[in-house]
């Protein structure tokens, strides 16, 4: 339950009431997380300048180590390859980003994930959570076969989303260095305005990146985003998989912070938007 509690889901299912029925650490293919891949999950009180959006901790998933330089077990996100063999992807993946039409993405490596099985409240019509995605691949590896991805796979699937992923940008790109949300970065000629500047990267370990193509301090983050989705059958059981993985190899890592899960009593659509500061 610790992973669920870290994002604000503290009520365990009992006596036919709503709550978390189970919480388990998994790989991108749904098999148990084990060995060195366990370094990819963490429950932290901070990550660089980021502090919890609710409570006193948040969930961290990484294709490297889910730590910042102040934490025991930190590994530089530029080159922490945890396991030599690839493993499976969630159904419908690897999936190419619409922003990169000629790209063929490699097999998943170094994945980490949390699977939550939740009995939803009978009056809840939707839910939301917040996340902040960091990538070491900016700016030199945009649209690369080695890109990392973060997805939130919902089952039963929302009827309008055949692959089940509910976290994506306005062009239906899964969350990656190719998605339009990157805004915490140093600007260069790659199509991102970097409106939030670079300070949000400092202290995370991602600031060790030096772009050899553009000559800037690399790595980037989305800033805090909120994903919302409907519960199409109120009071039903849903499964939500938060997953991150590298593609093609295990270097140049990405990390996602997840927090502030909430149910909604209002009609809810599916989408991801920046959280107003």
- List, in sequence order, every residue forming a beta bridge with 60; answer none if it has no partner: 42, 257
- Residue 254, C-beta contacts closer than 8 angstroms, at least 6 positions apart: 62, 63, 64, 77, 133, 134, 135, 136, 137, 148, 150, 176, 177, 244, 246
Q: What is the pLDDT of residues 3-29, one digit of tens each?
A: 999 999 998 898 889 999 999 999 999
Of the pLDDT bands very low, low, confident and very high (cuts 50, 70, 90), residue 99 is confident
Strands 271-274 and 58-62: unpaired
Of the pLDDT bands very low, low, confident and very high (cuts 50, 70, 90), residue 52 is very high
Q: What is the pLDDT of residues 134-171, one digit of tens each?
A: 999 999 999 998 899 999 999 999 988 888 999 999 88
Q: How high is the pLDDT of residue 161?
A: 85
What does the block give as tokens for 76? 């530089």
Contact present, 136 and 76 (Cβ < 8 Å) = no
Cβ neighbours of 213 (radius 10 Å): 11
Q: Does residue 34 or residue 85 have the better pLDDT?
A: 34
Instruction: Return the minimum-mean-pLDDT range out of 37-51, 92-106, 141-155.
Output: 92-106
How far apart are alpha carbons 153 and 241 in whole angstroms?
A: 5
How far apart are alpha carbons 164 and 159 in whole angstroms?
A: 9
The predicted model scores a pTM of: 0.96
Q: What is the pLDDT of residues 215-269, one digit of tens each?
A: 999 999 999 999 999 999 999 999 999 999 999 888 899 999 999 999 999 999 9
Question: What mean pLDDT do residues 183-197 have?
Answer: 93
Overall domain count for the chain? 1
Of the pLDDT bands very low, low, confident and very high (cuts 50, 70, 90), residue 105 is confident
Residue 148 belongs to domain spanning? 2-274
Q: Give, for 245, the enclosing helix (H) or strand (E).
A: strand 237-247
Question: What mean pLDDT do residues 48-75 have?
Answer: 97
Give the rounded percent of residues in the chain with a pLDDT score beyond 70.
100
Q: Is the predicted pLDDT of residue 103 greater than 90, yes or no?
A: no
């Amino acid at each position: 339950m610790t992973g669920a509690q870290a994002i604000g889901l503290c009520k365990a299912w009992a006596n036919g009431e709503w709550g978390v029925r189970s919480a388990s650490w998994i790989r991108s293919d749904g098999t148990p997380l084990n060995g060195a891949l366990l370094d990819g999950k963490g429950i932290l009180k901070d990550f660089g300048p980021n502090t919890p959006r609710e409570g006193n901790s948040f969930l961290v998933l990484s294709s490297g180590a889910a730590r910042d330089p102040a934490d025991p077990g930190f590994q530089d996100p530029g080159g922490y390859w945890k396991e030599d063999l690839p493993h499976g992807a969630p159904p419908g993946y690897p999936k190419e980003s619409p922003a990169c039409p000629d790209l063929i993405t490699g097999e998943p490596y170094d994945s980490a994930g949390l699977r939550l099985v939740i009995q939803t409240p009978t009056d809840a019509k939707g839910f939301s959570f917040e996340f902040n995605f960091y990538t070491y691949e900016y700016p030199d590896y945009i649209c690369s076969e080695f890109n990392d991805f973060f997805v939130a796979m919902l089952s039963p699937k929302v009827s309008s989303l055949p692959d089940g992923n509910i976290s994506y940008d306005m062009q239906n790109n899964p969350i990656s260095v190719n998605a339009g949300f990157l805004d915490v970065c140093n600007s260069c000629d790659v199509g991102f305005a970097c409106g939030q500047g670079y300070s949000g990267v400092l202290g995370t370990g991602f600031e060790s990146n030096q772009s050899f193509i553009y000559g800037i301090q690399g790595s980037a983050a989305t800033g805090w985003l909120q994903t919302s989705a409907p519960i199409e059958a109120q009071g039903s059981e849903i499964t939500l998989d938060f997953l991150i993985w590298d593609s093609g190899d295990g270097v140049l890592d990405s990390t996602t912070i997840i927090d502030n899960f909430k149910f909604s009593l209002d009609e809810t659509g599916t989408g991801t938007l920046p959280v107003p500061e």
